[in-house]
Amino acid sequence: MAVPSDSNTSNSSFLHQFLQESCYPEELRDSIISLPKEEGWLTPHMYNYRGFWFDSKFLYGALRSQQQFQAQHSDIILSTLPKCGTTWLKALVFALTTRKQFPVSQQTHPLLTTSPQDLILNLEFFYARENSPPNFPTMNNNGVMRLISTHLPLELLPKSVGESKCKLIYVCRNPKDTFVSFWHFMNKMRGELVGLGEIPFPEAFDKYCRGASHYGPFWDHMLGYWMESLENPSKVLFLKYEEMKKEPDAHLRRMAAFLECPFSEEEEEGGVVGGISRLCSFESLSNLEVNKTGKGLLFGNSNNAYFRKGKVGDWRNHLTDEMATKLDQIVEEKFKGTGLKFNSDY
Ligand code: A3P
């Protein structure tokens, strides 16, 4: 299996480009700097492109992927907002789709030694690297099926994604926990990569509620995929983090059926489903050396940043009653009449 390598651009120079806005790619500089902007969480500015917020470098990656990425019928695209369970989804789908080549009982399973973030690359991050080859690497065992992740909203996916028969799995998470997770993650990245202090919690909350977080507004991002999953259920599978936590095995079976690789009777009897969900559980992955002390390929940041608590309802330890009510009201107003709901117990 081809595990991606960091051959073209070193972590540090990519990070430097990411943080320095003067390093905009020439061809996009004018169009990016004329967009509406506001102070970024990590970078000096975030830019609003067609209603969604981006760091300039990832906007460049998004635009470049729109121009260059050719989806194939057999591609599997994993889409999420940051902090909604991307790492978990990557692990689950990797283990699920490669289970013949890598039985989960094997001591040499790639998930035991490679971060899920590095096993499945992010589309726009990949294209944000200027020296990347035009073809997305084949990431899977048989050289045909590609596993690709993205944070792009449905509306901004490369056109070929809609035109091909490739499938998308989307995971969303209740916005209160997502916000708390995002705030912790951004603070960690600010400290580790940029040497900045924490973003004051009320300031971060205000930005999030205005939709000004990466790939936000969260409501438009979620609704785009939600509506598509209703219209086109064989194309988009829409899952919720909280329900996956409650019933991981049932969700694995749903994913397998959706991807047309259902578990055989023999696999069911052999405990393969439980084996995958155990391997990919928070407890298992977060205790692996690679995820405790390893560094990511793209930025060289600590892999442990992707594993904090992995719990439902941690917002209760952070949000005031007033804040929780405000976010609930936003959710209610934005999702009204769409059928998309979050269980109030979350
Ligand atoms: P918390 O910060 O609430 O703990 P992403 O992968 O999209 O960056 O999301 C990160 C969030 O998912 C973090 O949430 C992280 O702890 C949680 N997470 C990571 N791996 C997980 C797993 N295997 N199962 C459940 N949650 C997981």
Domain around 127 = 25-335
> Is residue 9 over pLDDT 50?
no
Span 231-261, pLDDT tens digits: 999 999 999 999 999 999 999 999 999 999 9
**pLDDT average, residue stretch 187-198:** 91
> Is residue 10 over pLDDT 70?
no
User: pLDDT class for 14, splitting at 50, 70, 90?
Assistant: low
- 307 in contact with ligand 1, CB cutoff 6 A: yes
Within a domain: 225:
yes
Question: Residue 111: which of 80, 147, 75 has the closest Cα?
Answer: 147
Name the closest-CA residue to atom 17, ligand 1. Answer: 310
**pLDDT average, residue stretch 35-51:** 93
pLDDT, residue 7, reads 39
pLDDT, residue 6, reads 42
42 or 230, which is more confident: 230
- 306 in contact with ligand 1, CB cutoff 6 A: yes
Give me the CATH number covering residue 204: 3.40.50.300
- 284 in contact with ligand 1, CB cutoff 6 A: no
Task: Write down the residue that tokens 């397998």 correspond to.
Answer: 256
CA of 327 to the centre of ligand 1 (A): 20
Within a domain: 346:
no
- 281 in contact with ligand 1, CB cutoff 6 A: yes
Question: Residue 151: which of 242, 46, 77 has the closest Cα?
Answer: 77
What is the Cβ-side half-sphere exposure of residue 182, based on CA atoms within 13 angstroms? 27
Query: Among 83, 111, 176, 314, which is best to mutate for testing ligand 1, by the most ligand atoms less than 8 A from CB?
Result: 83
- 215 in contact with ligand 1, CB cutoff 6 A: no
CA of 180 to the centre of ligand 1 (A): 11
Q: Which atom of ligand 1 is nearest to the CA of 245?
A: 25
Within a domain: 17:
no
Span 90-104, pLDDT tens digits: 999 999 999 999 999
pLDDT, residue 149, reads 95
> Is residue 113 over pLDDT 80?
yes
> Is residue 4 over pLDDT 70?
no
Name the closest-CA residue to atom 2, ligand 1. Answer: 181
- 83 in contact with ligand 1, CB cutoff 6 A: yes
pLDDT, residue 25, reads 62
Rounded to the nearest angstrom, the gap between the alpha carbon of residue 293 and the centroid of all alpha carbons in its chain is 21
User: pLDDT class for 112, splitting at 50, 70, 90?
Assistant: very high
Within a domain: 1:
no
- 328 in contact with ligand 1, CB cutoff 6 A: no
Span 75-94, pLDDT tens digits: 999 999 999 999 999 999 99
Query: Among 240, 241, 307, 309, which is best to mutate for testing ligand 1, by the most ligand atoms less than 8 A from CB?
Result: 307
CA of 265 to the centre of ligand 1 (A): 31
Within a domain: 4:
no
Question: Residue 78: which of 67, 91, 69 has the closest Cα?
Answer: 91
pLDDT, residue 308, reads 98
Name the closest-CA residue to atom 26, ligand 1. Answer: 310
Contact 278, 284 (CB under 8 A): yes
Within a domain: 183:
yes
Span 114-167, pLDDT tens digits: 999 999 989 998 888 766 555 555 544 455 578 999 999 999 999 999 999 999
- 114 in contact with ligand 1, CB cutoff 6 A: no
**pLDDT average, residue stretch 334-342:** 95
Within a domain: 197:
yes
Within a domain: 19:
no
Q: With b meaning 16 or more CB within 10 Å and e meaning fewer, what string describes 26-40?
A: eeeeeebeebebeeb
Q: pLDDT averaged over the chain?
A: 90
Number of domains the chain contains: 1
User: pLDDT class for 34, splitting at 50, 70, 90?
Assistant: confident
pLDDT, residue 32, reads 79
Query: Among 86, 88, 180, 316, which is best to mutate for testing ligand 1, by the most ligand atoms less than 8 A from CB?
Result: 88
Span 255-291, pLDDT tens digits: 999 999 999 999 999 999 999 999 999 999 999 999 9
- 184 in contact with ligand 1, CB cutoff 6 A: yes
Catalytic residues: 151
